[in-house]
A and B are shown apart, each in its own frame.
Chain A
């Protein structure tokens, strides 16, 4: 059974078809990369799945529930977590409070006015931070963290509602190569441990080819390839849209 099924998804902005009749599916526990050159429609596609944009046509089903027309917060409640391209945490809170906030929301305790929030779900928040290796920074203000650490905290926040699907928009953007590999390795490990499916977009080809179970490629809004690392690498159409020739592409892939 597939966790997420996307059928004939389309979206236009002022006459430009950003996403054009795209269909794909993610199987449970799959680590799926969505790649494509700039302007290919990755982010648009992503934002339609997480509810920030409404598609013009097409269908998005998660475990049999249609997502179209749902708000981001409702989609989250269905068990879909996400991280942002530009990492966003709550700057006026400590690291652990960021995670606690998500746990409080998950437990539907947001409208409570009396009991102090800092006592709620602290244990569980520490556990989550420990999983991403951030337990030592729990009580630091989140605004003081290095960018790579913010990404880790975001991951902990995204895991707070025990999602079955994780959407990650360029999770390693703005990170050094070493950090990138560490973060994706961490995600991969958590995914395997928990049986979560992941859909992520990524610019870094080494990350994609090293970790993704499967890769789909968008170009000018259309899905042009779908397969494992080898078949994508060898796909002439993909090489074409990326670089005209395949040379540099292969060179980078080997690095």
Chain B
């Protein structure tokens, strides 16, 4: 490995950086102005690759390719505007993060739509007409298209910069990024601004996707592959800062290029294959950046966004009706093995639902009352699951010991990660939790000798007397009920009040002597600990676990459950988890296009219940009560 090789890889890295920048910059603009966490941004990018492929192959030639890129950007931009007008505009007044749920539904719908339109096969587009060759550089061949990409990134950056500083729309966007309320107060048509920003962001995503068709095939997994990277770049650069996004893209791309260039390095005692680090490099970078610079490289502390949603109702202790209702539900659950004797699957699903409830309730504990939006709650689920499973695998631990260890392992992880996370707030906290979860995931994934790598740990079965399904169901029910009860108890106790105080007004809370960070740290730990129980139960329910228990998709499932049920109510996560788990199970069975169906159902729920299911029902009842 010589210097030329490293320099050349650095140049390579710049072209990857342009790609990363184009995915991320639209997301950054959208978030900066609208504060929407747009999970569907990767889907827009994916649609960009498919549309550009179709235009390029149908029209053919230079016009098809280059014209196709322009056309694609415009089409995807229009699609973005449509999404904003038809969907997001209806839910801006919902509690924060709720829009995430809507965009999650879009991910599902768009993926199936792409499958339906373009079919299952990967579609490799043509090479870029005029830029098919390569040039000699440092004794190596650099594709001319890479050079083009290296230029495109900064060019787009420059254009955006000029647009943001020279046009009225751009100035409004910048103003809105800094203070959304102020722009509203100035009498600017906020709806138009948001539509415009969303269209612009979508257009950039479409452009980014279209530009990639010369390098990689259009494929159905692009959406989720891209979205994680995009968020990392946005956050590392600093939310809303487009220059930051470019700097971050370069940083991440160069770190990866360096890892690839290093390849296998022999340190004498051990050898490290650095190319394997590319699995998690961006998340390591993000964790380091966020720990040292809490608002990203070029981001600034954001003025507190006063929520446009109605604030939460004060907690009221359970009325007799609620208590009776709760007891009835509990009684039905206890009687379930008898009721469902003819259908043992009910218990199988029941166990999954109960585990989901415990998972969602523990996430809600920090998300709702704590105001800490964890995007990496799967980490504690996974730590619990692996803690239990590895004890069984390596020490043949009895189930009781393994299950007791699950929350402890998760607690350790939550104490460690939480200590860093509570120093941040808002989306930065969310992304740091995600980074930690990804690091745990990568560690489990890579540490083959200990964890079984991607295949996971097998042979984790319940021992007597819990071998039978009803017995394990009762165990799960008991632990889930206990977990939910404890969470409720904590929330009504001084500690829960202090959590909410720290969320409602951190300044006021500090001014009455509350150590908000410490309180939130402990809350984080409690949530992790309880989540660990869910993870442990999961391992024994399935008999085996794999890194998928820690994957991003599980964290997102948790968010979906909490938001679906309603962030502002205590029973929200319970209902949300039940509905989501049962829905997913039945939808998966009913059609080939189950993702689209699931997405469609979630969209309907989102539009019908902008405060979550429980929140929506509660409002309905309140209104009726007021009327009578």
A residues contacting B by CB (< 8 A) are 50, 52, 71-73, 76-77, 82, 84, 88-94, 97, 100-102, 104-106, 109-118, 120, 141, 143, 157, 160-161
Contacts and interface: CB of A to CB of B under 8 A. Distances in A.
A89 B496 CA distance: 16
B510 A120 contact: no
19 contacts: A71-B510, A72-B511, A73-B510, A73-B511, A73-B515, A76-B513, A84-B507, A88-B508, A90-B508, A92-B312, A93-B504, A100-B497, A106-B512, A110-B498, A110-B514, A111-B495, A115-B493, A120-B494, A141-B314
A88 B505 contact: yes
B509 to A, nearest CB: 8
B504 A117 contact: no
A112 to B, nearest CB: 5
B500 A90 contact: yes
A84 B492 contact: no
B419 interface: no
Contact of B513 (A100, A106, A118): A106
Contacts of B312: 91-92
Interface in B457-510: 489-490, 492-498, 500-501, 503-505, 507-510
Given A92-B314, A111-B522, A118-B492, A105 B505 contact: no
Contact of A105 (B314, B500, B513): B513
A166 to B, nearest CB: 12
B519 interface: yes
Contacts of B512: 73, 76, 101-102, 105-106, 157, 160-161
B130 interface: no
Nearest to B505: A88
A120 B495 CA distance: 12
Interface in B301-329: 311-315, 317
B492 A117 contact: yes
A176 B311 CA distance: 26
A92 B313 CA distance: 6
Given A73-B511, A77-B513, A109 B505 contact: no
A113 B497 contact: no
B504 A92 contact: yes
Nearest to B493: A113
Nearest to A160: B512
Given A73-B514, A73-B515, A89 B489 contact: no
A209 B507 CA distance: 30
Select the residue from A71, A105, A106, A114 with max chain B CB neighbours within 10 A: A105
Given A92-B312, A105-B513, A111-B494, 6 more contacts: A73-B510, A73-B511, A90-B501, A104-B498, A112-B495, A113-B489
B362 to A, nearest CB: 15
Given A90-B504, A141-B313, A110 B510 contact: no
B480 to A, nearest CB: 19
A72 B511 CA distance: 6
A150 to B, nearest CB: 11
A61 to B, nearest CB: 20
Contacts of A161: 512-513
Contacts of A76: 510-513
Contacts of A94: 314
A106 B512 CA distance: 8
B311 A92 contact: yes
B224 to A, nearest CB: 35
Nearest to B497: A117
Nearest to A111: B495
B497 A101 contact: yes
A116 B508 contact: no
4 residue pairs, one from A and one from B, having the closest CB atoms: A88-B508, A90-B504, A92-B312, A102-B512
Contacts of B492: 116-118
Contacts of A118: 317, 492
B497 A88 contact: no
A82 B510 CA distance: 11
A93 B509 CA distance: 13
A104 B497 contact: yes
A91 B315 CA distance: 11
A104 B494 contact: yes
B25 to A, nearest CB: 30
Select the residue from A71, A102, A157 with max chain B CB neighbours within 10 A: A102
Nearest to B310: A143
A203 B519 CA distance: 36
A141 B312 CA distance: 9
A92 B570 CA distance: 13
Contacts of A97: 314, 497
Interface in B499-554: 500-501, 503-505, 507-515, 519, 522
Contact of A72 (B315, B501, B510, B519): B510
B510 A88 contact: no
Contacts of B507: 52, 72, 84, 88
A52 B489 CA distance: 33
A120 B312 CA distance: 22
Interface string B424-467: 00000000000000000000000000000000000000000000
B626 to A, nearest CB: 15
Nearest to B368: A92
A104 B500 CA distance: 14
Contact of B495 (A50, A77, A113, A143): A113
Select the residue from A90, A114, A115 with max chain B CB neighbours within 10 A: A90
Contacts of A111: 494-495, 519, 522
B257 to A, nearest CB: 38
A147 to B, nearest CB: 15
A94 B512 CA distance: 17
Contacts of B313: 92, 141
A120 B500 CA distance: 17
Nearest to A112: B494
Nearest to B490: A113
A77 B519 CA distance: 17
Contact of A117 (B493, B505, B511, B519): B493
